[in-house]
């Protein structure tokens, strides 16, 4: 089945993990295709999430000036357009882009401007989530959420925490998520990826997000799945990335089917298009081959993604109508 022309929604997508070879070599002409494949793409099987994340550094290094940030943002929008993505939430950590003198607020402003301009060129809707990272200090997390508050509007729509879930506790970030809740800033949070159900419970208790980045190890605890359903928590599932980081051995053992059958709200995402060397169309094809998912499954998961998106209801309904028309349901 060809899924390439069907409209798609992506909620879990890291800007600094999604540089095409074209934009990487434009920024640094010394990068050969062989070097790009070796450095920017993570191994098919990493020892753990930490090893996977080391490959993000190669993209971050190329995103330290206004021009570089603009090029990378516009390039990603074109990648999304090529596979008929109609809505995407792109996330990045502005504090990682200050090595050449940019201030974090300048990095946000540059990416916002590029996103606004690029959406029209690419013919899609996209929004921005600002990320703190597990290894950041409390002050850095608070700085990031204050940036999300300052820029909250037509482009910046939410807050996230990413990074090494197994290596760092939640403590440094509790105040930032409290700040977000008190100011009505929608939040998602990476959890249930490098650690199991205990980590998901911890994040739910301390961060109270609307969505979970990954969240797939919730499948290890049936009572947790019931809690997630009752809370209406949406899972942003990234199958290929999960195999790479050792969440599961292979796609056949990925819990996507179990989670779908349990009645949870979820959708399919790439995580890092470059790190995982994957497109959303290819993710769909994998689930079709291994679990028999068809148009009906992807219509349902894309509709759930839109309902969980951090955008006004009117735009959700407009995009849902596009999906239903294209999927002929």
Q: Which residue has the tokens 């509007």?
A: 153
pLDDT for position 194: 77
Kind of pairing between the strands at 234-237 and 156-162: unpaired
Which residues 6+ apart lie within 8 Å of 179 measured at CB?
142, 145, 146, 149, 185
How far is it, in rounded angstroms, from Cα 268 to Cα 173? Answer: 27
pLDDT surpasses 70 at 329: no
> Span 149-157, mean pLDDT?
98
Q: What is the pLDDT of residues 211-233, one digit of tens each?
A: 999 999 999 999 999 999 999 99
> Span 98-118, mean pLDDT?
98
> Span 236-255, mean pLDDT?
95
pTM: 0.96
pLDDT for position 167: 87
**Structural domains present in the chain:** 8-327 (3.20.20.140)
DSSP one-letter string for 250-302: SGGG-THHHHHHTT-EEEE--B-TTTTT--HHHHHHHHHHHH---HHHHHHHH
Choosing from 83, 89, 165, 193, the catalytic residue is 193
> Span 103-113, mean pLDDT?
99
pLDDT surpasses 90 at 47: no
> Span 111-132, mean pLDDT?
98
193 is annotated as an active-site residue: yes
pLDDT for position 49: 83
pLDDT for position 50: 84
Q: What is the pLDDT of residues 95-107, one digit of tens each?
A: 999 999 999 999 9
> Span 300-328, mean pLDDT?
98
How far is it, in rounded angstroms, from Cα 177 to Cα 159? Answer: 8
Whether 293 and 269 have beta carbons less than 8 Å apart is answered as no
pLDDT for position 304: 99
> Span 47-74, mean pLDDT?
94
pLDDT for position 328: 87
pLDDT surpasses 60 at 314: yes
């Amino acid at each position: 089945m060809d899924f390439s022309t069907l409209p798609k929604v992506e909620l879990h997508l890291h800007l600094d993990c999604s540089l095409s070879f074209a934009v990487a070599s434009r920024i640094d002409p010394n990068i050969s295709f062989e070097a790009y494949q070796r450095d920017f793409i993570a191994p098919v099987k990493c020892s753990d999430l930490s090893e996977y994340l080391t490959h993000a550094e190669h993209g971050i290094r190329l995103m330290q000036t206004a021009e570089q940030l603009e090029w990378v943002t516009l390039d990603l929008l074109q990648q999304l357009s090529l596979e008929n993505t109609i809505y995407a939430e792109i996330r990045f950590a502005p504090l990682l882009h200050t090595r050449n003198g940019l201030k974090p607020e300048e990095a946000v402003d540059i990416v916002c401007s590029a996103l606004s301009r690029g959406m029209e060129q690419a013919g899609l809707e996209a929004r921005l989530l600002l990320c703190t990272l597990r290894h950041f200090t409390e002050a850095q997390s608070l700085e990031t959420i204050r940036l999300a508050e300052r820029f909250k509007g037509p482009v910046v729509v939410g807050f996230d925490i990413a990074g090494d879930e197994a290596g760092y506790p939640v403590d440094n970030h509790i105040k930032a998520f409290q700040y977000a809740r008190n100011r009505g800033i929608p939040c998602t949070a990476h959890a249930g990826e490098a650690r199991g159900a205990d980590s998901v419970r911890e994040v739910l208790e301390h961060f109270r997000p609307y969505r979970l980045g990954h969240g797939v190890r919730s499948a290890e605890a049936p009572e947790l799945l019931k809690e997630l359903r009752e809370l209406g928590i949406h899972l942003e599932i990234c199958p290929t990335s999960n195999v790479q980081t050792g969440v599961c051995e292979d796609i056949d053992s990925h819990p996507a089917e179990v989670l779908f059958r349990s009645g949870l709200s979820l959708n399919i995402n790439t995580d890092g298009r470059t790190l995982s060397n994957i497109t959303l169309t290819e993710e769909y094809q994998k689930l079709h081959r291994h679990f028999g998912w068809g148009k009906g499954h992807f219509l349902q998961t894309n509709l759930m993604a839109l309902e969980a998106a951090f955008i006004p209801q009117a735009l959700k309904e407009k995009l849902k109508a596009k999906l239903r028309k294209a999927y002929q349901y």
